[in-house]
């Protein structure tokens, strides 16, 4: 049973909120996560494939990228690898998202430079919790 209360673990009211780049070729999912994240106070940008993700990431410099791995044109693994190679975007944490629960996918994603790995199906609240965890860990590391 999902929690009835919204997660509301995001940024406080009035805070402009962290900018999250959601990369997913399936519009329904992309919109669902966007809706939920915005509802919880995040700023959200969207990209529809790997190349789009690279452009948006370079242009917007988001605080975190949610990256679906199965993408047209340029897949999630390759996109992540390029992001992590570019000094401009290398500091941006990437949370990988995949429908393939097969062994090897997670390892491939981590090798590509993903900071976290989440298996679909993933309800919006769980994804938001993971985003929060990664951002907290990063700000903690930065603070040190």
Partner 1 sequence: MAAGTALARSAAVQAEARLGLAEFLLTCDDLEECARRSLEWLAEYAGARAGACLAVDVEHTRLSVIATHGPGMPPEFSVDLEDRAHPLVAAAFGRQAVVFAERRDRRGPAPLGRLPIVVHPMYARVGRENVPGGLLVVSPPDANHRMLAWVASVLASPLVRLGRSRSLTEADRRIRRERTLLDAVPDPILLTDPEGRVLIANARAKALLVAGEGESEGRRRAVALNNMLFSSALAQTAIQEGGRRELLLVDPVEGSDLLFELLSTAAPDTREGTALVSILRNISDLRRASEEIEENYRRLRIAEADVRAERDRLDLIIDSVADPILVTDPAGALVMMNAPAERLFSVRGSSAPEHGVRVQANDAHFSAFVSNLLFASEGERRRGEIGLVDPETGLPLPVEAISGKIFSEHGEVIAIVTVLHDRTEEIERARLYEELKKASALLEERVRQATSELVGQNELLRRQRIELEQASAAKSQFLANMSHEFRTPLNAILGYTSLLLQGVSGELGAQQERNLSRVDSNARHLLAIINDILDISRIEAGKMPLHVSSFPIPTLIQEVLAELEPLIQRSKLSVRVETARKLPPVSNDRAKVKQIVLNLVTNAIKFTPSGSVTVSARHELSVKEIEIAVSDTGIGIKNEDHERVFEDFRQADNSPAREYGGAGLGLAICRRLAHMMEGRVELQSAVGQGSTFTLTLPVRLRRR
DSSP the chain: ---SS----SPPTTS---EEEEE-S-HHHHHHHHHHHHHTT-EEEEESSHHHHHHHHHHH--SEEEEESS-SSS-HHHHHHHHHHSTTTTTS-EEEEES--STTHHHHHHHHT-SEEEESS--HHHHHHHHHHHHHHHHHHHH-
CB of 47 to partner 1, least distance (A): 18
Binding site for partner 1 (CB under 8 A): 1-7, 26, 28-29, 32-33, 35-36, 39, 99-103, 120-125
Nearer to partner 1, 121 or 143 (CB): 121
Cα–Cα distance measured from residue 113 to residue 77, given in angstroms and rounded to the nearest whole number: 8
CB of 103 to partner 1, least distance (A): 6
Nearer to partner 1, 28 or 144 (CB): 28
Nearer to partner 1, 24 or 83 (CB): 24
Nearer to partner 1, 29 or 80 (CB): 29
CB of 131 to partner 1, least distance (A): 15
CB of 33 to partner 1, least distance (A): 7
């Amino acid at each position: 049973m999902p929690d009835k209360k919204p997660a509301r673990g995001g940024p406080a009211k009035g805070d402009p909120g962290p900018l999250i780049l959601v990369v997913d070729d399936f519009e329904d999912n992309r919109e669902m996560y966007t809706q939920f994240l915005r509802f919880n106070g995040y700023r959200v940008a969207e990209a529809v494939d790997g190349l789009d993700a690279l452009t948006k990431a370079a242009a917007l410099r988001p605080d975190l990228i949610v990256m679906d791995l199965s993408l047209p044109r340029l897949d999630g693994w390759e996109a992540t690898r390029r992001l992590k190679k570019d000094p401009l975007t290398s500091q941006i944490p990437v949370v990988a998202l995949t429908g393939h629960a097969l062994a090897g996918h997670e390892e491939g994603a981590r090798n590509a430079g993903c900071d976290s790995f989440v298996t679909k199906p993933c309800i919006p609240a769980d994804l938001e919790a993971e985003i929060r965890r990664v951002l907290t860990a990063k700000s903690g590391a930065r603070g040190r």
